[in-house]
Every structure is written in structure tokens, then in C-alpha cells.
Amino acid sequence: QSPLYETALMYAALAGNLPLVKYLVEDKKADVNSVSYGWDVLKWGKDFDQSKEVADYLRSKGAKPSQYEWGQKQRQPTHFH
């Protein structure tokens, strides 16, 4: 899969903005599995501890986590369960 530029959904997830995330996914049909240079949407929402609710919502819509570690804390992107 070729890399994409960052999406509005990625930034909404990063901000922990659940209403905006829901709007982008449900009304605008944003891709919950989009990737930008190895960073998937779940990564944007979880690696920075922004919102467990956002991560749970994205997962409920079919978002799949990456299989690698990133960031200073070296956590798996799946640390919210």
C-alpha cells in the first residue's frame, strides 16, 4: 500500500475528538484503515494517549492496528483494550 498524506480523520483521532471522528466515519465515509507513512488511524488516536473512546470507536468500525512500535514510550499501538 502506498503512503498517503495525513487525513482529517487522523487529526481528529489525534485530538481525541470523538464527535468529529464519528462524523468523518459515518457521514463522510472516511477510511478507518488509512495509512500515512506507516502511521494508521488507530496509531494517531492511541499512541499519544488522546482518547480510549476514539480508539474503541475506530476499532468497532473495523480499524486494524499496526504491528510495530513507535514513539518514545515504545508501546504497541494496541495498548488500549
Cα–Cα distance between 68 and 60 in angstroms, integer?
Answer: 21
The pTM score is 0.74
CB-based contact 41:63 (threshold 8 Å): yes
Write down the pLDDT at residue 18: 93
Write down the pLDDT at residue 80: 43
Write down the pLDDT at residue 44: 74
Q: What is the pLDDT of residues 15-57, one digit of tens each?
A: 889 999 999 999 999 999 988 877 888 877 666 556 788 888 9
Cα–Cα distance between 58 and 62 in angstroms, integer?
Answer: 7
Q: What is the pLDDT of residues 1-20, one digit of tens each?
A: 445 578 999 889 888 899 99
